[in-house]
Amino acid sequence: MTDIINRPDASDGDEREARKEAVRQGIELLFFAYRDFTAEPDAILAEYGFGRAHHRVVHFVGRHPHMTVGELLGILRITKQSLNRVLGQLVRQGFIMQQRGAQDRRQRLLLLTERGRELEERLSAPQRARVGAAYKKAGAAAVEGFRKVLLGIIADEDDRRRFAPPRPPRR
């Protein structure tokens, strides 16, 4: 269960050190990848006078239409005061619409407008290109590993549940 690698001639100390170094490299890889992964959308956002927070809102509302403000707060893990400035700008400038909830009329269900979809498309394009190219280059097996490790890093069980296998076997 613990055998990461089968090495007959390494001592436990070396083994542990090598593993520790591998983990530290993983940490650093995450930093670099995230840094570059956000750089291109950030440049586009600047045109609109928006920041990374706006991207996150547009992304999640795009992927989960009719989500509530509370759900969005739970995903982003920020306060409603922080969200409100960003969300308010997006609503006032016509990127996001709010609909009264049908069952619970206190809820404001969030939706992208046409303009919002265009923005989402522009912002995600460089990220999709970057990640898509990395996927293609690394191959399907590597992508499976990438997903597995990232899922292991995510703390919250509910958040992990968002990620069903990419192609669930139908029937």
Partner DNA sequence: CCGGATAAGTCAATATGACTGACATAATTA
Partner DNA sequence: TAATTATGTCAGTCATATTGACTTATCCGG
CB of 59 closer than 8 Å to CB of 73: no
* Residue 113 CB, nearest approach to DNA (Å): 15
CB of 43 closer than 8 Å to CB of 89: no
| Radius of gyration over every alpha carbon of the chain, rounded to an integer in angstroms | 20
Query: What does 13 bind: its own copies, DNA, none (CB cut-off 5 to 8 Å by kind)?
Result: none
DSSP string, 46-71: HHHT--HHHHHHHHHHHHSTTB-HHH
Q: Interface mask (CB under 8 A) for its own copies, residues 103-142, using x and -?
A: ---------------------x--xx-xxxxxxxxxxxxx
Q: Could you tell me which residues come within 8 angstroms of residue 153 by beta carbon, excluding any fewer than 6 positions away?
A: none
- Report the site for DNA in 43-62 (rule: CB under 7 A): 45, 49-54
Q: Interface mask (CB under 7 A) for DNA, residues 86-125, using x and -?
A: xxx---------x--x-xxxxxx-----------------
Q: Is 160 in the site for DNA (CB under 7 A)?
A: no
DSSP string, 11-51: -HHHHHHHHHHHHHHHHHHHHHHHHHHHHHHHHHHHHHT--
Q: Is 37 in the site for its own copies (CB under 8 A)?
A: yes
What does the binding site for its own copies look like in residue numbers (CB under 8 A)?
Answer: 2, 4-5, 18-37, 39, 56, 59, 63, 77, 124, 127-128, 130-156, 159, 162-163, 166-167
Q: Which residues bind DNA (CB under 7 A)?
A: 45, 49-54, 68-71, 73, 76-82, 84-88, 98, 101, 103-108
